[in-house]
Homo-oligomer: A and B are copies of this chain.
Amino acid sequence: MKYSKATNYALHTMVYLIALPKGNTIGVHSLAEMQDLSPTYLSKILTKLAKGGLIESTPGVRGGYKVSKAKDSISFLDVIKTVEGESNLFNCSMDHHEGCMIENVMIEAEQNMKDDLAAKFLIEITNKMDEQSINNIKGKAN
């Protein structure tokens, strides 16, 4: 069991977007370059984040992406849920699995992880970035 690479890229991308000055946008090309990804692939992840309401896009010249919520309100869980989906990590395999006790335990454990991820905000990561990286991103804004 592993988080998808998409989640990985999404989290890093969100940290970058949060580092942008308010109102600025940045294009997929720049975001992809920073992470050594193809723009078309990262584009799909960004579209997902946009549909999930975390970021918004403007097409056309000088368009790009920016966060669409208060920067200090975006949690790890917000991003993960958007990319990975909402279904539980564990689903009982038995034919009659209503109220499976094993499943209940697994769901409860998962909830502990989610509670923690809901209380961790991406802006904390951005705040700890070194100035050089911050300036690098700002320099790529449209």
Contacts and interface: CB of A to CB of B under 8 A. Distances in A.
A36 B94 CA distance: 8
A33 interface: no
Interface in A82-126: 84, 87, 89-95, 101-102, 105-106, 108-110, 112-117, 120, 125
Copies of this protein in the assembly total: 2
Say whether chain A's binding surface is mostly helix, strand, loop, or mixed: helix
Contacts of A113: 109-110, 112-113
Interface residues of A, number: 39
Contacts of A106: 3, 76, 117
Most chain B Cβ neighbours within 10 Å, of A1, A4, A15, A36: A1
